[in-house]
Chain A
Amino acid sequence: MDILSMSACDLSRALSEKKVSALEVTQCYLKQIEEKEPSVSAYLTVDAKGAMDKAEEVDQRRAAGEALSPYAGIPIGVKDNICTKGLKTTCASRMLEHFVPPYDATVIERLRRLDMVILGKLNMDEFAMGSTTENSYFKVTKNPVSPDRVPGGSSGGSAAAVAALEAPLTLGSDTGGSIRQPAAFCGVVGVKPTYGTVSRYGLVAFASSLDQIGPLSRNVSDSAFLLNALAGHDPKDATSLSRDYDDFSKDIGKGVEGLRIALPREFFGEGLNQKVKEAVFSAAKTLESLGAKVEEVSFPSLSLALPAYYVLSSAEASSNLARFDGIRYGYRSENYSDMDSLYKKTRSEGFGAEVKRRIMLGTFALSSGYYDAYYKKALQVRSLLASDYQKIFEQCDVILSPVAPTTAYRIGEKTSDPMEMYLGDIYTVPVNIAGIPALSMPCGKDQNGLPIGLHLMGDFFSEPTLYRAAAALEKTQKGGSDDAFGL
């Protein structure tokens, strides 16, 4: 049995039918990690002992006849900004280099309750700020498709681990595209759920009103499978919605007959790579050939999304990251003379350049005298974007666009110009600002063999529809396999 080639859904079946043991699966992935890490560098922490202990426990309980969840024994990797009790959670920052949380994030509690096996913690841009994972204090993760390329970011480790078969599933977080863009760059599936679907408790906050945890996986069904485990109300997160969720995979396999698909022309304008554009149009044609209705629409506020995003996210970040002051936990400078210098030196030495840039930007935007011109204006753009989306969703079910204007950058290519880097987020940030769900999936490759990402956006709680459309498209890419669980 080739464990590595099995999807999470395959593994689930094989484990419950006792065709494979949790320990075998875990050992197989730990071995793969050992082999791949020198070239990929996706993991910051590998918890081999914790993973094996858990796997053994699952096997023993299954052997004893206990009825276990369909997730029991499936390994998973976790982005390093999601708190894991007893396991270092660094946010890829010097500031939290040795931080071991005394609590689990709610999503981790859920995974543990379902008896999933946590393999380790994944690299990212420091505090989730960046689009290449080059902003990690610890290491540069390489794109498994092409080692001289970045995996995207900020959940670069999460996407690379899935692409390099170092985990069947991973968790990422998405504030402005941080799940979807690395998924696109690495050729995997990533979903940013509707804001409030997945608890943020224990996710180290970047921008609280935009952050959302979501799944990365090799295929569409695995994504829905993992989201089923993550979604649900959490009394510990006041922004988590009080709502029951259907099976997110319920519409997979239903086809796209009659599905109304929108192509907003502003998402195909200047700066978009020709190959990426062609691939997205070709995906739209495929969907049309499967019975979907495709129409061109307008999204006039797109050009305002990026500046609004950088104001809102940086403003919130400047406040969220203020707690890293060297007083209670985390890094503390060794050379300080008084309280002010303790703060200044700790924060100057503990944070990287990009984090400091955003803190400065956000602090400025909230300062007295500038609040109305920046923060308040950005809030107005927020309602404008929401209304653009709502107008489209009155006529359409899914919006199709590229995830990013280009395929994966070369390592070091964009580090010198943050503005150019920010422009890469143009198609993903409006989704977070509006709070709607979106999915990123592969839709072909460019001339260098680099994966191109397709972006499917839907109205609040439309994840089942996104999965339905994505699965139909995926089926055409995989040569017509009818197995919803197939790779």
Chain B
Amino acid sequence: MLSDYEMVLGLEVHVELNTATKIFCGCAVSYGDEPNTHCCPVCMGFPGILPVLNQKVIEYAIKAGIATNCTIASYSKQDRKNYFYPDLPKAYQISQYDLPLCENGYLTIETENGPKRIGITRIHIEEDAGKLVHDPQKGTFIDCNRCGVPLIEIVSEPDMRSEKEADAYLRKLRSVIRYTGISECKMNEGAFRCDVNLSVRKKGETAFGTRTEMKNLNSFQFISKAISYEYQRQVAALEAGESIVQETRRFDRQTGKTFSMRGKENADDYRYFPDPDLPPIENDDAFLREIEASIPTLPDERKASWIEKYGLPAYDCEQLLEEKEIADYFETALKDCAYPKILSNLMLSEVFRLLPETGKIPVPPTDLAAIANMEGKEILSSSAAKKVLRECFETKERPEDIVQKRGLTQISDPELLLPFVLETIQENPKMVSDYQSGKTNAVKALMGSLMKKSGGKGNPKVLSSLLEDALSRL
């Protein structure tokens, strides 16, 4: 039944910008500090107080727009979104309604069926709300430190069809934003949070089904789980003859299920209107060019050059490019390395696995290049190369020293290896007779014994051809 349906996903992502000060006042943007230590009459919405837009916010949002291939508005404005909630001091959020700063962009993701474009409807600027802190004994408190922290909201087109695509889009988006330097996108701090709009329809249909919205998901894992649960729930509901209610649903991390929060019938009317305290935003070409020039090389451009120069697979590039620090590291290592694919394999397998939480690779890029070169020149077997890399991570010693000390140099001289082959054949008559009766698996077993006999140092390629040669002569 599930296979008769497809999901349609659109994502709204809120990114907190890392400007030094808030969007409308001089308070510092900070995370995790003592509550209510970074707020003032402006961000607390005191009577008579006026907002003044932080120009950095415009600059940062435009950077995000350029990096996601958007058209940047030459004329834009800010609007008030009116609703009551204790974490919203003015009882309206200054946001953008019908004239957002950036529109009509896209990002390209890698899927099983090749590259796919995900449309970006718009990017607009807005202020964050404060935080409610619930204390079971003392009641609910308001922390205004987050009030007025600048946000951009990035709204995608409903172009994604699986949780994998959503995941790839979010990773790509996060990567691009991090490259531009406008946010660290720390998900655990809520600096990159996602609202998921999901509907389902029978495969082949073109009309959209009724969608539900899941708000404020802030880990890739939860997003995938929420999507897959909600997809199955909607399909099950339709199959049971029920209809989907347009509503906001809450994802419960404990149970992995989603729950209805409120239906559309009592949805808020935000009564948007242009904020009379803030003049329109006008961007001239010179300003846009200046911003464009300040954006570093973005992942897609690097990917294209890596594919062209080094012949690396697109999927590998995508993985290596996600974090700018890692990509920079890889690019530095590439300069000293004659074997890009081996280097890439070492990165994607061992380096990613060993990567500490800090995200900093403790081995200098030249050392990683040296290991890849040794593997490429067949001085090290691929397993020995991994072993050396692990030791580099642990001991911080030079790879050459490790290879020498541990005697890990691969033996490729057939004259040195032939005795091992002959001994193995002699010691394993059963496997040999299996081989002769046509059981091809026996070769693998013989190779295993052979590798063991050579103490793991034998060049598997050379050993394999010697073995085949010897067997054929029996």
B86 touching A339, Cβ below 8 Å: yes
How many residues of A are in contact with the other chain, CB < 8 A? 44
A328 touching B44, Cβ below 8 Å: yes
B190 at the interface (CB under 8 A from A): no
Stretch in A29-37, A196-204, A301-309 touching the partner: A196-204
B40 → A minimal CB distance (Å): 9
B31 at the interface (CB under 8 A from A): no
B81 → A minimal CB distance (Å): 10
Q: Which of A91, A239, A366 contacts B271 (CB 8 A)?
A: A366
A238 touching B271, Cβ below 8 Å: no
Stretch in A9-17, A59-67, A98-106, A282-290 touching the partner: A98-106
B86 touching A319, Cβ below 8 Å: no
Given A322-B82, A368-B269, A101 and B276 contact (CB-CB distance below 8 Å): no
**Contact indicator per residue, chain A 199-214, by CB within 8 Å of chain B (1) or not (0):** 0111111011100000
B449 → A minimal CB distance (Å): 74
A319 touching B48, Cβ below 8 Å: no
A238 touching B53, Cβ below 8 Å: yes
**Contact indicator per residue, chain A 217-251, by CB within 8 Å of chain B (1) or not (0):** 00000000000000000011111000000000000
Chain A residue at minimum C-beta to C-beta distance from B87: A327
Q: Which of A82, A201, A325, A366 contacts B82 (CB 8 A)?
A: A366
B4 → A minimal CB distance (Å): 37
Q: Which of A99, A319, A339, A366 contacts B47 (CB 8 A)?
A: A99
Among A103, A237, A319, A329, the one with the most B-chain Cβ atoms within 10 Å of its Cβ is A319
Chain B residue at minimum C-beta to C-beta distance from A202: B48
A-contacting residues, B72-92, CB 8 Å: 80, 82, 84, 86, 89-92
A201 touching B47, Cβ below 8 Å: no
A343 at the interface (CB under 8 A from B): yes
Q: Which of A203, A238, A322, A339 contacts B52 (CB 8 A)?
A: A238
A239 touching B91, Cβ below 8 Å: no
CA distance A99 to B269 in the complex (A): 31
For B49, list chain A residues within 8 Å (CB): 103, 201-202
A-contacting residues, B274-329, CB 8 Å: 276-279
B55 → A minimal CB distance (Å): 11
B451 at the interface (CB under 8 A from A): no
B41 touching A236, Cβ below 8 Å: no
A460 at the interface (CB under 8 A from B): no
For A367, list chain B residues within 8 Å (CB): 269, 271
B269 touching A208, Cβ below 8 Å: no
For B86, list chain A residues within 8 Å (CB): 325, 327, 339
For B53, list chain A residues within 8 Å (CB): 238
Given A99-B47, A202-B49, A238 and B90 contact (CB-CB distance below 8 Å): no
B142 touching A319, Cβ below 8 Å: no
Chain A residue at minimum C-beta to C-beta distance from B82: A319
A239 touching B47, Cβ below 8 Å: no
CA distance A315 to B269 in the complex (A): 14
Using CB atoms and an 8 Å cutoff, list the residues of chain B in contact with chain A.
41, 44-53, 80, 82, 84, 86, 89-92, 142, 269, 271-273, 276-279
Using CB atoms and an 8 Å cutoff, list the residues of chain A in contact with chain B.
81-83, 89, 91, 96, 99, 101-103, 105, 200-205, 207-209, 235-239, 315-316, 318-319, 322-325, 327-329, 339, 343, 363, 366-368, 371, 375
A–B Cβ pairs within 8 angstroms, 30 of them: A83-B48, A89-B47, A101-B46, A102-B41, A103-B49, A201-B49, A204-B47, A204-B48, A205-B48, A205-B277, A208-B276, A208-B277, A209-B276, A237-B50, A238-B51, A238-B52, A238-B277, A239-B278, A318-B271, A323-B90, A324-B47, A328-B89, A329-B47, A343-B84, A366-B82, A366-B272, A367-B269, A367-B271, A368-B269, A368-B271
